[in-house]
Amino acid sequence: MPLTLDDYPDDFYPCHRRVLSARRIAPDQLKKSLSRLHDVASMHNATAAAQRLYHSIQCKEKIVIVGDYDADGATAMSVVVSVLRYLHANVDTVVPNRVRMGYGLSKAAADVAVQKRAELVVTVDNGITAADSVDGLKQQGIDVIITDHHLPLQTLPNSDFIVNPNQPDCQFPSKHLAGVGVAFYLMLALRQVYRQQNDTALDDYPIIDLLPLVAIGTIADVVPLDFNNRILIENGLKRIRAGLASPGIGALIDIAGLDYRTINATDIAFQIAPRLNAAGRIADMQLGVDCLLAGSERLAVDYALELDRLNRERKAIENEMKIEADYLLQKQTYPASVQTICLFQEDWNEGLIGILASRLKDKYQKTAFVFTRSGDVLKASARAAEGVSLIEVLNLLNRECPHLLGQYGGHAKAAGLTLLPEQLPNFSDHIETIIANHLKTVEIDQAVYTDGELLPYELSVENAEFIKLLEPWGASMPEPMFENSFYIDNIREVGHNHANMQLIEANSGQLYKGIAFNQYQNCGNLAQQHCRIAYQLSVNEWRGQRSLTLVVSHIEVITH
């Protein structure tokens, strides 16, 4: 049955009931206890894979973990390696370099595993589409366990075991685990196998200490935050706030200028994850893994400093690419009716074209394809505007022009592809036609959805702090946004293009502070205007004093 506003405790404010019911958070889900995690027994192949892993550990077989070059892959690898090192397993790793090796269990990564004399290969956050590489490893007599969360193709790899909640016949209730979540469940299954074998080697291992890694990887991968993921994140954040995170995580928090005692999901998403991902984008994710696995604070600080430097370098390169892209767009004079942006620059960083595509999509509200050269081919990253499913339009393009695309893949909102340089004009023309025709049949929803108005007593520091307790927010679980009518009493620019506002709530006459990030150019002339404003609640603390700030996201002038 659908939740109703009457399902929640009597002492909840009306806004609390609206927020929770709109996100289908039942009252019994407010307490995110670890005991409520879905049972590992329902994860298809988890126990069998753990038994195979147990055999390898006991026999001192060479186990090679193959990861990925993003934060989810780095945290997933760190989860598995942490446990295997504790067990004194014969373990080694392959962290793919984005440019030299490509994604996940590529042929290049499989070749490295062979060179390392692997007897068992375990993938984390990848492998579900690596059928050819798995076949190559099996021909070498190497067993393969795939742990992944991505959607499978029609034909599964011929590995020994696949642990993936999205594979056919898996009854695990949550289909939204990140790669690190799947890796964590494999370690839970391994602990059960040890207990079944009356082996006490894992009895004293605090598996709960892996939860900060799970929280970071899950937040960074922007997977939907169903109840199971909310439990994992909440308890991981609790460990961090209690000062129980690893030296590497602690160093990243310090270098970002955060307070571990108050860290939240937003801090992880915008401060910690980018520093980890910077290694995979412009250098090598091995650095990120080394930081997360660092055994001492001194070593962790060294790694964190280098990750911070890479993140600053990433921002500088990204800004240069953005300036170049804006120049190219001005030079090409795209008409407003065009639905796609296709840009190519010979030397754009392969690890950053996805970010640039996202920035262009947001700025111009068009589907963006950003190309760079990768050897003899062009490689692109794409981001979809509202109403466009990239995988659908690329599938259609591939059917209509079967020899145009090289490799491609992705999902509705993000995709990657390769093509020959001489095919770029053909691609640009065809993809524009397909997307333009598609959008003629789609009604774009441009509404701003909020959780309604706040009553005067709900516009308070106490209410903002209570809503904060309902975290984590993220994919499919948006942070609460409210709307009220305000008079903008005063507005001025602070920093670069940020608008600092004095807002008078229309019904109560109460004065509130407001901040609109990156919006001064659009709203700087709205002083003394009566407006409908969508905002989120935030609490500022200065010299021990707490005050409420309204973080403004949308403004609409009331004309009557």
Q: Specify the amino acid at residue 328.
A: L
- The ranges of the chain annotated as CATH 2.40.50.140 are 456-557
Note the CATH number of domain 39-305. Answer: 3.90.1640.30
pLDDT for the residue 499: 94
In sequence order, what are the residues at sequence separation of 6 or more whose Cβ sits closer than 8 angstroms to the Cβ of residue 114?
137, 140, 142
pLDDT for the residue 3: 63
Joined together, the tokens standing for residue 262 give 């108050």
Fold of 323-440: Diaminopimelate Epimerase; Chain A, domain 1 (3.10.310)
Q: Considering the entire predicted model, what is its pTM?
A: 0.90
Question: Is the Cβ–Cβ distance between 189 and 43 less than 8 Å?
Answer: yes
pLDDT for the residue 99: 84
Place of tokens 């590497």: 248
Query: In 3D, which of 373, 376, 383, 375 has the Cα closest to residue 416?
Result: 383
- Name the strands in the sheet holding 91-94, side by side, starting at the edge strand that comes first in the sequence: 91-94, 63-66, 120-124, 143-147, 161-163
Question: In whole angstroms, what is the distance from residue 450 CA to residue 356 CA?
Answer: 29
- The ranges of the chain annotated as CATH 3.10.310.30 are 323-440
In sequence order, what are the residues at sequence separation of 6 or more whose Cβ sits closer than 8 angstroms to the Cβ of residue 305?
255
pLDDT for the residue 410: 77
Q: Does domain 456-557 have CATH number 2.40.50.140?
A: yes
Question: Is the Cβ–Cβ distance between 280 and 234 less than 8 Å?
Answer: no
pLDDT for the residue 335: 74
Question: In whole angstroms, what is the distance from residue 503 CA to residue 530 CA?
Answer: 10
Burial 100-133 (b: 16+ CB within 10 A, else e): ebbbbbbeebbbbbeeeebbbbbbbbbbbbbbeb
Question: Is the Cβ–Cβ distance between 535 and 552 less than 8 Å?
Answer: yes
Query: In 3D, which of 305, 317, 255 has the Cα closest to residue 281?
Result: 317
* Alpha carbon distances (Å) from 514 to 452, 518, 528, 545, 552: 18, 13, 14, 17, 6
In sequence order, what are the residues at sequence separation of 6 or more whose Cβ sits closer than 8 angstroms to the Cβ of residue 422?
none
Burial of 223 (0-12, 13-18, 19+ CB in 10 A): buried
Question: In whole angstroms, what is the distance from residue 360 CA to residue 367 CA?
Answer: 8
Give phi and psi for 189, each to the nearest 5.
Answer: -65, -35
Please spell the DSSP secondary structure of 89-116, one letter per residue.
Answer: --EEEE---TTTT-SSS-HHHHHHHHHT
Mean pLDDT per block of 10 residues along the chain (560 residues) reads 67 89 89 94 98 98 96 97 98 93 92 97 95 96 96 90 96 96 98 96 95 97 94 97 97 97 94 97 96 97 98 96 93 81 95 94 92 94 92 91 87 88 95 90 78 95 91 90 96 92 95 94 91 95 89 91
Relative to beta strand 530-542, strand 545-557 is: antiparallel
How many C-beta atoms surround the C-beta of residue 553 within 10 A? 16
In sequence order, what are the residues at sequence separation of 6 or more whose Cβ sits closer than 8 angstroms to the Cβ of residue 311?
274, 275, 278
Question: In whole angstroms, what is the distance from residue 252 CA to residue 247 CA?
Answer: 9
pLDDT for the residue 4: 66
Joined together, the tokens standing for residue 197 give 């074998």
- The ranges of the chain annotated as CATH 3.90.1640.30 are 39-305
Joined together, the tokens standing for residue 541 give 């603390």
